[in-house]
Amino acid sequence: DIQLTQSPASLSASIGDRVTITCRASQTVTKYLNWFQQKPGKAPKLLIDGASDLQGGVTSRFSASGSGTHFTLTINTLQREDFATYYCQQSFTVPRTFGQGTKVELK
């Protein structure tokens, strides 16, 4: 199975900060990498697929890049509604796997 390792596991940030989350795959997933946001008690929400394609309706504060085994999700000008847990997921092959999550908390 392809392992996805996110870093950091958690981070504290302030409103207006720029934060970057990294996702590393144990083997190449080319560009089959998705990012999800999950708030407490809610279902995850798809933010980005294809490593860098922002979903319709998702704010452009979110951006992502990468290919192969190294990917990043960047949140510019952090807003209160962005405090959540973020997961990467590969859809290169089955079983699809998720990273362990990165919790973004208010400093």
User: Measured over all CA atoms, what is the biggest interatomic distance in the chain, rounded to whole angstroms?
Assistant: 38
Contact between 37 and other proteins per CB under 8 A: no
| Residues of this chain, 57-86, that bind other proteins according to CB under 8 A | none
User: Quick check: 38 binds other proteins (CB under 8 A)?
Assistant: yes
Q: Find all residues with CB under 8 Å of 26, minimum gap 6, and list them.
A: 2, 3, 4, 5, 69
In angstroms, what is the minimal distance from the CB of 83 to other proteins? Answer: 17
Stretch of 19-27, 30-38, 60-68, 76-84 lying at the interface with other proteins (CB under 8 A): 30-38
Does 32 bind other proteins (CB under 8 A)? Our answer is yes
Size of the site for other proteins (CB under 8 A): 25
The residue ranges that bind other proteins (CB under 8 A) are: 1, 32, 34, 36, 38, 43-46, 49-50, 55, 87, 89, 91-101
